[in-house]
Chains A and B, each alone.
Chain A
Amino acid sequence: QQQVKQSPQSLIVQKGGISIINCAYENTAFDYFPWYQQFPGKGPALLIAIRPDVSEKKEGRFTISFNKSAKQFSLHIMDSQPGDSATYFCAASKSGSARQLTFGSGTQLTVLP
C-alpha cells in the first residue's frame, strides 16, 4: 500500500525557474512531513520539514506548502540552480514512529544551465 504518492516522476526546469514537486498522503495519523534530497551515490539528506500546525515553511530558496484538508504538501524550489539537480523524496511519519518514514517514489529534477 503506497501511502505517500509523489509527482511528477521527473522534472526539467531552466536555471532561475521554479521547481514544484507534489505529494499526497492517505494516513491522517501522519504528523511530520520532511523532504529529502539525494545525489547519485549518496544517501538522502534532509532538506526541509514541516508539521501540520503550519501551512507553509520557508528556508532559503526552499518552501514547503501544506494543505491538511486536502492531505497534500508540496516543495517549491525558487531560482532553481544546476546544483539543485538531484532526486527529491517527500516522506511522512507519525508520532511515536518518528524514524519510520514512509517515502514517496521520488522526483528526478534536472535544472538546465
Chain B
Amino acid sequence: DAGVTQSPTHLIKTRGQQVTLRCSPKSGHDTVSWYQQALGQGPQFIFQYYEEEERQRGNFPDRFSGHQFPNYSSELNVNALLLGDSALYLCASSLIGRGGSGANVLTFGAGSRLTVL
C-alpha cells in the first residue's frame, strides 16, 4: 500500500521564480494538507484541500496557492519566490469523515526540499 508520494524530491530555484510541487495521497485518503518546515523548525500549516476546494488556510500569503484534482492528488504553487521560502514542503493526507481517533491521523510524505538562491 503506497503511502504519500511527493515530487520532486529536491529542487533549486532563484528569487522571483515560480515553483509547483506535487503530492499523491495515500490510497483511500481524500484530504490533502500542505506544511512548510524550515530547517530546525516544526512544520507550519499552509492549507488543506478537500473536494477540490481549499477548506482551511494558515498564515501564509497569497503567493502560496494550491489545487486538488478529482483523483485527490494535489499541487502547491508558490509565486515570486523569496529566499525565506527555502524549506521542506510536506504533504499530508487523511480521510475526512472517519470517526474516532482515526479522523485526525495525518500520513506525511517525505517532502520536497526547495532551495531558493
Question: Is B45's CB under 8 angstroms from A102's CB?
Answer: yes
A73 interface contact, C-beta 8 A: no
> Which of B44, B45, B108 is in CB contact (< 8 Å) with A44?
B108
Which one of B42, B94, B111 contacts A103 once the chains associate, using CB atoms below 8 Å? Answer: B42
Choice from A34, A42, A105 contacting B42 with Cβ under 8 Å: A105
Minimum distance in angstroms from B4 CB to a CB of chain A: 7
Contact of A99 among B4, B41, B92 (CB under 8 A): B92
Count, A-B residue pairs, CB within 8 A:
58
Q: B104 contacts which of A32, A43, A105, A106 (Cβ < 8 Å)? A: A32
Contacting pair B56 A44 (CB below 8 A): no
Please, which residues of chain A bring their CB within 8 A of the CB of B58?
100
The reply to whether B40 and A46 contact each other, CB–CB distance below 8 Å, is no
Residues B90 and A44 in contact, CB atoms below 8 Å apart: yes
Residues on the B chain within 8 Å of A13, using CB: none
Write the nearest CB–CB distance from A21 to chain B, whole angstroms: 13
Q: Inside 8 A of B68's CB, which chain A residues have their CB? A: none
Chain B interface residue count, Cβ-Cβ cutoff 8 angstroms: 25
| B59: min CB distance to chain A, Å | 9
Number of interface residues of A (CB under 8 A): 25
A99/B42 in contact, CB under 8 A: no
Q: Which residues of B contact A44 (CB under 8 A)?
A: 43, 90, 108
B42→A46 contact, CB < 8 A: no
Contact of B41 with A105 in the complex, beta carbons under 8 Å: yes
| Residues of chain B having any CB pair with chain A under 8 Å | 4, 31, 33, 35, 40-45, 48, 56, 58, 90, 92, 94, 101, 103-106, 108-111
Other A-B contacts than A43-B90, A45-B108, A89-B42, 5 sampled, CB-CB below 8 A, are: A32-B104, A99-B92, A99-B104, A100-B58, A103-B42
